[in-house]
Amino acid sequence: MSDAHSGTLRSATRLLSVAWLAVVWVLLWGSFTLLTIVGGVLVGFVVTALFRAGPVAHRLPFRPVALLALLWHLACDLVVSSFDVSRQTLRYGWRARGAILEVPLLSTSDRVVALIASAYTLSPGTLVLQIDLQRSLWYIYILGPRDSADIEAARTAAMEIQRSVLAAVGAPEEIAQARRMMMGRP
């Protein structure tokens, strides 16, 4: 890639980042005025100047069908989990149970792990507490397990969300490694 093209791409990326940060700023202030827009643009320029993104070694693969499947999975899980959290809250109130599980991590890529954690945490009643990249483990919180079958179902769901994210944006080597790891699980 030529230096001119690379510079133009960096400038366009920075301008998009500034625009996005300005939109977030305006939304956070809750008022659409000239002052908040200008303030958002200034904050965006300052933030992008102080916190420059490092170079990306390689791009994540983009698989549209797998990405649509992931989005469908997340949407369905959001609806089902919302009802489940409501049921747990109404039925058990402050006595609702929770559990912290240790789950194998199927990816070593920081970007993919961040996507996996974000996707998992989107679901009500679940939360990623810690990611241990050295031991390839993540610790998750789940709401409402009543027995070992519920805990195994939650562990399976956590593995499934990892598999779905990897199918959408994982490197081929990571997908193959994840398949091998999942085959070893009961």
Give the domain range for residue 102.
64-183
Indicate the residue among 28, 50, 72 that finishes a domain: 50
Q: Is the pTM of this model over 0.75?
A: no
Residue 68's pLDDT is 96
CATH number for the domain including 161? Answer: 3.30.70
For residue 39, being part of any structural domain is answered with yes
Sheet (strand 137-143) strand order:
98-104, 137-143, 126-132
Say whether both 173 and 93 belong to one domain.
Answer: yes
Number of domains observed in the structure of the chain: 2
For residue 127, being part of any structural domain is answered with yes
Say whether both 78 and 117 belong to one domain.
Answer: yes
CB-based burial label for 154 (10 Å; 0-12, 13-18, 19+): buried
* Size (the chain), residues: 186
Residues of the chain with pLDDT below 70 are 1-7, 9, 54-57, 185-186
Say whether both 106 and 38 belong to one domain.
Answer: no
For residue 59, being part of any structural domain is answered with no
DSSP state letters, 95-111: G--EEEEEEE-----HH
For residue 58, being part of any structural domain is answered with no
